[in-house]
Structure 1
């Protein structure tokens, strides 16, 4: 009875490390999107990002000799590919053109709350008090960051609705991806989800070609960066971690992103944050720390001793 937690601890640390890589790279994406989004329309930027990510993931899969995912994994892969890799990226790119970054951050951060609710309802995951309390603290911090960085010019209703749709797509994609990871590796789930999103964005192929011809090199390089690191690497490390913990707890870790964006903007863009922004970032970090404390939530049952464990990828 006392050996299970100790045996699970290395896996927990591996999942935590992978989640750390994910949130760091996803935070860096906000800085890159500012550059790439000035030259590329929302659909073209999403398609270019997904193409770059698919190429890298495909090469890694060839080297690792990863085959096709089992049939049981395809419903979750297809659903997460359409909702998260495709829909989320296009809608978020569009929404951030309509509202300032602060408003977008506040609305999109509804996503982890939706993940916790959906995973509780659809996946049977418990929501421990520590997780609920930590998410409440982190969401309050995200609101503070959003208010402090808002330009005060009044948010577009269309932009708010688009960001809310992005949050719903993100939550639905995560919850759909979780069952697929019981049957396929993190690399397989990420690669074929990315390919599904790419297929869904092919109608923007003409826009991408015409805009790439006149885009500055910096914007194109940022688009490629988005595909290689925040997509290929970060989505695979996310899947690796998600396979080893609950969807609700993984969603809560993304509340680190607003705090990291504040720090990165400070270092890379010389955007000095105010005290209110710093306080909001500290709340985000404190909430994540609280959400990972307390008793460990009971997710799906662990495989029996001797049963084959699901394979896992090494990128994100």
Structure 2
């Protein structure tokens, strides 16, 4: 029964997180990146509030409020603004491949800040992933545009990797729910700079765009984290569970083809293959080591 529940939660997580890339791409062009992020995470903040209230272990992290502000800035504000801006230019599939490189950046920053050893497989994985990033960045007709969009998505990946490093200690100290809740609320606080824009745009934005943002706020931005945490709880190995996320870009490609009638070019797919291969080798080498 637990094994079945594990796979159900894992599949739901992959589908929901994959749909986020497609949903973001769908809304871009109808609303500005900052306004979209603020509306989405206001909804997410409200969605997770009942879970926090009902939790027996809820805390106010007074001593580490600065760390949570930094965590929210990196993992939710900067990540989502950069990703939204990037997906104005690159397709959802390309964005998902590039975001997959966050595992590589996490490894690099862990070696720098946490003194974790990369090893030979780690460096091989990094090299392969950067080759893939380079191929993707130069794989469109309009090289300047694809470079600009790819750079923005890479900024999102880097900020997310730094967020994950911060979260390692925060989760140990406060638990996954408290860490998630206070990080989301902190990130949403920074997004309030876009409130004047959102007030102006909400009057004219399409109802279908609003519906997509509501979906993004409720499901990928909040509920997916709970299914992911539940999958980790039921799993024998966090590393093996994380490996399943390699299927996310494939899910994105199928969904963007069905919903948006878009798909990455063959060269972008090749670059994506190198990124995922690099991530796999780096992760496997770390596990075996």
With the length of structure 1 as denominator, give the TM-score of the two structures.
Answer: 0.71
Alignment match, 2:188: 198
Aligned ranges 1:147-186 → 2 under 5 Å: 147-148=138-139, 150-152=140-142, 154-155=144-145, 159=149, 162-186=152-176
**Distance change in 2, residues 1:144/1:274 (3 Å):** same
Alignment match, 1:126: 117
Stretches of structure 2 lacking an aligned partner (at least 5 in a row): none
The answer as to whether partners of 1:255 and 1:284 remain within 8 angstroms in 2 is no
CA RMSD of aligned residues (A): 4.0
User: Within the alignment, does 1:222 sit opposite 2:212 as a pair?
Assistant: yes
Shift of 1:215: 1.3
The answer as to whether partners of 2:137 and 2:146 remain within 8 angstroms in 1 is no
The answer as to whether partners of 1:83 and 1:170 remain within 8 angstroms in 2 is yes
Alignment match, 1:87: 78
Aligned ranges 1:284-303 → 2 under 5 Å: 284-294=275-285, 296=287
- Determine the C-alpha separation between the residues in 2 that align with 1:274 and 1:156: 12
- Whose helix fraction is larger, Structure 1's or Structure 2's? 2
**Distance change in 2, residues 1:292/1:154 (3 Å):** closer
Aligned residues: 285
Aligned ranges 1:90-129 → 2 under 5 Å: 90-97=81-88, 99-101=89-91, 111-129=102-120
- Determine the C-alpha separation between the residues in 2 that align with 1:294 and 1:270: 37
Q: 2:34 aligns with which of 43, 50, 53?
A: 43
CA offsets, 1:150-188, max 9 Å, x none? 343532776565444333322221211111011112111
Higher mean alpha-carbon deviation, 251-260 vs 199-208, is at 251-260
The answer as to whether partners of 1:54 and 1:194 remain within 8 angstroms in 2 is yes
User: Within the alignment, does 1:187 sit opposite 2:177 as a pair?
Assistant: yes
The answer as to whether partners of 1:73 and 1:179 remain within 8 angstroms in 2 is no
CA offsets, 1:210-259, max 9 Å, x none? 21221111101111111112211334556678999999999987665433
- Determine the C-alpha separation between the residues in 1 that align with 2:59 and 2:13: 24
The answer as to whether partners of 1:49 and 1:224 remain within 8 angstroms in 2 is yes
Shift of 1:96: 3.4
**Distance change in 2, residues 1:74/1:137 (3 Å):** same
Shift of 1:195: 0.5
Alignment match, 1:261: 252
Higher mean alpha-carbon deviation, 246-255 vs 22-31, is at 246-255
Aligned ranges 1:235-246 → 2 under 5 Å: 235-236=225-226
The answer as to whether partners of 1:137 and 1:283 remain within 8 angstroms in 2 is yes
Q: 1:57 aligns with which of 33, 39, 48?
A: 48
Shift of 1:193: 0.6
- Determine the C-alpha separation between the residues in 1 that align with 2:219 and 2:116: 30
